[in-house]
Amino acid sequence: MQVRVNVMFGLRHVEPEDRVAETTRLLVNLSQQIAALADLPVKTSIVLKDVNGNRVGVFDVFPE
């Protein structure tokens, strides 16, 4: 089965000069969580959080 992956997050909470660093932090954290999975089944969802634990985005796997 083919899947589609969406990654979406906002950066309004981040100062403009810190957006590259926050984007990098979010994506590194996400990649570590994905690497820990044995598979990427449809309906997989991972919440992306800022350093304070607030939800700022989501990673979702959908059927193609």
Domain locations in the chain as residue ranges: 3-63
**Would the pTM of this model clear 0.75, i.e. be above it?**
yes
Q: Is the pLDDT of residue 59 over 90?
A: yes
- 1 pLDDT band (50/70/90 cuts)? confident
Query: Percentage of the chain surpassing pLDDT 90?
Result: 95
Give the HSE-up count for residue 42: Cα atoms under 13 Å, Cβ half-sphere: 7
Question: pLDDT tens digits, residue range 6-49?
Answer: 999 999 999 999 999 999 999 999 999 999 999 999 999 999 99
Q: What is the mean pLDDT of the chain?
A: 96
**At 49, which amino acid appears?**
K
Cβ burial 43-55 (10 Å sphere, 16+ → b, else e) = eeebebebeeeee
- List C-alpha distances in Å: 29 to 15, 34, 64: 20, 9, 25
